[in-house]
């Protein structure tokens, strides 16, 4: 399951490697690219938000696995998990500073510390807290989003008030400035890109954590609850898994398709796109992630017998190395210190690089794990976590 998630995350991240960060929000940014609309639509429906949500659920479950393993060894599980998460924060900030703006490790580390404080609650309490925080925060923000979308439509149709017109113009100016800053970093050499990140947005990982807190923390809590309910260990009945898969993918997919249809018909207006990639899609993201998880649990007994299934499992066991490794690979293709393909390559070519990245992530882990217990970065993270640990 982790292998599917890390492969799926690349399908979303590829746009952020290729162009400015806001290109991930719309096929019309940084400029209209009709040839890339099909890829955007496919990734929006199948991958966007769903794979990150799946990965976050699994991260919450993995925190519980680490706690259980630490307790068996006789160590303080909370202290060791905190050390583990703080090292993850170091990896995450280095990932951002050295390579790419879209790091998720730093937010995972800080949100993980908050989730750690709640780990002793029973599964029902974890789900209630997680779903309450998730639905209330995204629901309230969605009301504001809908008002903003209505105002944007009035402006675009020529019926906006002077205040609405000014607000829309200010947003477009901020979009242009963001694209210009990101393009400078994308086109820069390695050292210059680091200098620009430090001068333009040195605290971006912290602001990303705050902006994603009401998604990341609740999903971690739900992942913890799923682990303790035996979901990932195969304790759920096939009937229950089928229901979750059908309801999650069916309902979440229908909402996502309806949202995509409206956006496409209206030319992907920017304010609506930001809302659609965030709060308005929060519920379908969660539903489809749960549906994907249930479907993979149903398929795993058969997948485990196949070479493709074994390669996926190995890729998941090396997810940390694969996640950071694909950043290095794709930055090498698109950044100014690499091949610099970003400015010249049409968006429609991005699926080819996704397939290349998938091939790379699947090619090496099975061979590596036959010789070593963990992936290289997984092993480094483990050594740092346990360095100097004492009972």
Tokens of 390: 């004492």
Tokens of 270: 């920017």
Mean pLDDT for 202-217 is 96
Q: In angstroms, how far is the first alpha carbon of the chain from the final one?
A: 34
Residue 106: Cβ-neighbour burial (10 angstroms; 0-12, 13-18, 19+): buried
Q: State residue 391's pLDDT score.
A: 55
Mean pLDDT for 136-150 is 95
Beta strand ranges found along 280-349 (DSSP E): none
Q: State residue 277's pLDDT score.
A: 94
Q: Which domain holds residue 347?
A: 2-386
Mean pLDDT for 100-118 is 97
Q: State residue 390's pLDDT score.
A: 64
pLDDT at residue 178 greater than cutoff 70: yes
Residue 391 lies in a domain: no
Tokens of 334: 């698109």
Q: Report the number of distinct structural domains present in the chain.
A: 1
Residue 338 lies in a domain: yes
Residue 7 lies in a domain: yes
Residue 307 lies in a domain: yes
Rounded to whole angstroms, the Cα distance separating 384 from 362 reads 26
Cβ 70 vs Cβ 62: under 8 Å: no
Rounded to whole angstroms, the Cα distance separating 44 from 255 reads 12
pLDDT averaged over every residue in the chain: 95
Residue 325 lies in a domain: yes
pLDDT at residue 244 greater than cutoff 70: yes
Residue 81 lies in a domain: yes
Residue 77 lies in a domain: yes
Label residue 61 by pLDDT band (50, 70, 90): very high
Rounded to whole angstroms, the Cα distance separating 243 from 240 reads 5
Residues in contact with 214: Cβ distance below 8 Å, sequence separation at least 6, in sequence order:
133, 134, 137, 138
pTM of the model: 0.95
Cβ 376 vs Cβ 325: under 8 Å: no
pLDDT at residue 168 greater than cutoff 60: yes
Q: State residue 343's pLDDT score.
A: 73
Residue 197 lies in a domain: yes
Mean pLDDT for 35-57 is 95
């Amino acid at each position: 399951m982790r292998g599917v998630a890390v492969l799926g995350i690349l399908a979303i991240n590829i746009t952020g490697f290729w162009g400015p960060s806001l290109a991930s929000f719309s096929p019309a940014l940084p400029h209209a690219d009709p040839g890339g609309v099909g890829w955007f639509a496919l990734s929006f429906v199948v991958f966007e938000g769903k794979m990150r949500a799946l990965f976050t659920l699994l991260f919450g479950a993995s925190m519980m696995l680490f706690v259980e393993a630490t307790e068996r060894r006789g160590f303080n599980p909370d202290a060791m998990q905190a050390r583990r998460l703080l090292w993850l924060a170091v990896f995450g900030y280095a990932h951002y500073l050295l390579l790419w703006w879209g790091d998720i490790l730093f937010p995972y580390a800080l949100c993980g510390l908050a989730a750690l404080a709640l780990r002793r609650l029973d599964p029902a309490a974890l789900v209630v807290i997680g779903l309450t925080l998730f639905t209330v925060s995204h629901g309230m923000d969605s009301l504001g989003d809908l008002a903003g979308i209505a105002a944007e439509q009035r402006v675009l149709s020529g019926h906006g008030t002077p205040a609405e017109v000014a607000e829309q113009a200010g947003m477009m100016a901020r979009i242009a400035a963001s694209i210009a800053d990101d393009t400078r970093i994308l086109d820069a050499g390695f050292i210059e890109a680091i200098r620009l990140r430090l001068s333009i947005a040195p605290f971006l990982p912290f602001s990303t954590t705050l902006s994603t807190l009401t998604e990341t923390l609740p999903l971690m809590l739900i992942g913890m609850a799923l682990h303790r309910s035996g979901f990932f260990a195969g304790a759920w009945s096939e009937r229950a898994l089928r229901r979750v898969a059908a309801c999650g993918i069916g309902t979440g997919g229908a909402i996502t398709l309806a949202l995509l249809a409206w956006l496409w018909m209206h030319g992907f207006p920017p304010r609506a796109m930001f809302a659609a990639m965030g709060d308005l899609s929060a519920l379908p993201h969660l539903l489809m992630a749960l549906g994907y998880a249930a479907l993979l649990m149903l398929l795993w007994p058969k997948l485990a017998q196949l070479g493709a299934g074994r390669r996926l499992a190995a890729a998941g066991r090396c997810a940390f190395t694969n996640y950071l490794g694909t950043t290095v690979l794709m930055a090498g293709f698109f950044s100014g210190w690499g091949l610099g393909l970003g400015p010249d390559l049409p968006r429609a070519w991005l699926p080819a690089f996704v397939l290349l990245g998938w091939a790379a992530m699947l090619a090496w882990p099975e061979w590596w794990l036959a010789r070593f217990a963990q992936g290289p970065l997984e092993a480094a993270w483990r050594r740092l976590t346990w360095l100097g640990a004492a009972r």
